[in-house]
A and B are shown apart, each in its own frame.
Chain A
Amino acid sequence: MAGVAVSTTINGDAVEYLCQPDETLLEVLRDRLGLTGAKEGCGTGDCGACSVIVDGRLVCSCLVLGAEAEGRKVETIEGMAHGDQLHPLQQKFLEHAALQCGICTPGFLIAAKDLLAKNPSPTEEEIRFGLAGNLCRCTGYDKIVRAVQDAANVMKGA
């Protein structure tokens, strides 16, 4: 199996790697680049724990090949905070205790960031359907929805 050489941008940094043709972007991020913030909950696009943003589109990194990242811009949870300044969504997830075990949290934060970028004032229903691709088994989603609502308000005010 011939490796594929890839040049891409991850969280604003130029990155180069060699990956196998059938290797997913999630495997590349986690196993080759040490970016373990994206999690594998299912590997089939059903749980959203591996969510990243590629060229402005929210995707499951388990359903993207590493080779496909060539020339793209990839955003992961590791790039969400600015230095020591947490993103408002990260801050609100902490304040509202929108996480218990926290394994789904990176995926939720990325998905919520994408949601608010496209719809800065979502209704509760829009948040619920917008985040339906992210499974959480601990919280019953209540505090996650509230944290996103609160973050949306803060971000509008900013």
Chain B
Amino acid sequence: MRYIRPLSIEDAVGELAKAVGPAAILAGGSDLLVRMKGGFVEPELIVDIKRIGGLSDVTETAEGFRIGAAVPCAVLGENKALRKAWPGVVEAANLIGSKQVQGRCTITGNLCNASPAADSVPALVAAGAKAVVAGPSGKRTIAVETVPTGPGRTSLAKGEIVEAILLDKRPEHAGDAYLRFIPRTEMDIAVVSAGVNLTLDDKGAIKTARVALGAAAPTVLLVEEAGQVLVGSKLDEATMERLAKICSGACRPIDDKRGTIEFRRKVAGVLARRVAAIAYKRAGGK
């Protein structure tokens, strides 16, 4: 086993591309080290990306925000501009694990770990976030929802690294929010979760909407029908009921140690309703 700490993304990609055995990218390590401890992965190469220039920065650009792959979630919560623009993404990122885990974990890691229950991913999907992928054949920018393809599996090719997450600049009257259900008040993995991102027109009616569900299917679900049902509404009770029903219906959950199919379906609808109301309020809706 080798541990390396490249200083450029090109070096990191190069090392990963030529690695013979299993290789792992280390940013926060809050998933990787647990899996190593449990004997589930035994990488021959660990590539620590934290010393690569720019990967530990949050930058505000003309297009919006660029969040480096090695930025711990705690840093997102300390960034006022990001919190103001994308409160839902930040609250989702700040729900992952404990304060201790917050000091290490990253949203890029959360995305690439490809757990259907990842907290930040439904919020990122609802937000329409993009991932910047660096690889042996150059860079590409893709929608975050195309990264995970199943539990623990991603669309990334050998040698590819997600180097940053991009979030758009916010228009007027926009709001996002994320809620999850956990049995305790902290420290649990989401049993089911929902993220909603809305923009409103000048009259307070919903202009665009994206709704995503976590822990409801093998990957985070973008429920387009749920977004459509919100458009044009001011979240009246009938719309809320339809939203809940669509979300419950869109779930393809499993029974496991964290919850039942029945429970996840039902609570997905409840959370969608509650989270839409929060996002709507944040967007300035009344």
- Give A contacts to B, CB under 8 Å: 1-2, 4, 20-22, 24, 43-46, 48, 51, 54, 57-60, 62-65, 67-68, 70, 111, 114-115, 129-134
B26, B38, B50, B99: the one within 8 Å of A133 (CB): B99
A21, A62, A70, A132: the one within 8 Å of B187 (CB): A132
B28: chain A residues at CB < 8 Å are 63
Interface residues of B in 85-125 (CB under 8 A from A): 97-101, 103-104
B3: chain A residues at CB < 8 Å are 4, 21-22, 65, 67
B38, B74, B101, B185: the one within 8 Å of A60 (CB): B101
B26 adjacent to A45 (CB under 8 Å): no
B46 adjacent to A65 (CB under 8 Å): yes
Min CB distance, A129 to chain B, in Å?
A: 6
Query: Known contacts A58-B103, A111-B100, A133-B100; is A63 also within 8 Å of B33 by CB?
Result: yes
A21 adjacent to B99 (CB under 8 Å): no
A1, A22, A54: the one within 8 Å of B36 (CB): A22
Q: From A46, which residue of chain B is reached at the shortest CB distance?
A: B187
Query: Known contacts A65-B26, A70-B5; is A51 also within 8 Å of B100 by CB?
Result: yes
Q: How far is the CA of A65 from the CA of B103 in the complex (A)?
A: 14
B38, B48, B98, B104: the one within 8 Å of A67 (CB): B48
Besides A21-B2, A44-B34, A65-B29, 14 other A-B contacts (C-beta < 8 A): A2-B1, A21-B3, A45-B98, A57-B104, A58-B103, A63-B29, A63-B100, A63-B101, A64-B29, A64-B33, A64-B104, A65-B46, A132-B99, A133-B100
Interface residues of B in 14-65 (CB under 8 A from A): 26, 28-30, 33-34, 36-38, 46, 48, 50
B29 adjacent to A130 (CB under 8 Å): no
Q: Is B186 an interface residue (CB 8 A)?
A: yes
Interface residues of B in 187-236 (CB under 8 A from A): 187
B26: chain A residues at CB < 8 Å are 65, 68
Query: Known contacts A57-B74, A111-B100, A133-B97; is A1 also within 8 Å of B1 by CB?
Result: yes
Could you show 17 A-B contacts with beta carbons less than 8 Å apart?
A: A22-B3, A43-B37, A45-B33, A48-B98, A58-B100, A60-B100, A62-B37, A63-B100, A63-B101, A65-B29, A65-B48, A67-B48, A68-B48, A111-B99, A133-B100, A133-B101, A133-B186
B98 adjacent to A132 (CB under 8 Å): yes
Q: Is B148 an interface residue (CB 8 A)?
A: no
B29 adjacent to A129 (CB under 8 Å): no
A131: chain B residues at CB < 8 Å are 99
A22: chain B residues at CB < 8 Å are 1, 3, 36, 46
Q: Is B253 an interface residue (CB 8 A)?
A: no
A65 adjacent to B33 (CB under 8 Å): yes
Q: From A133, which residue of chain B is reached at the shortest CB distance?
A: B98
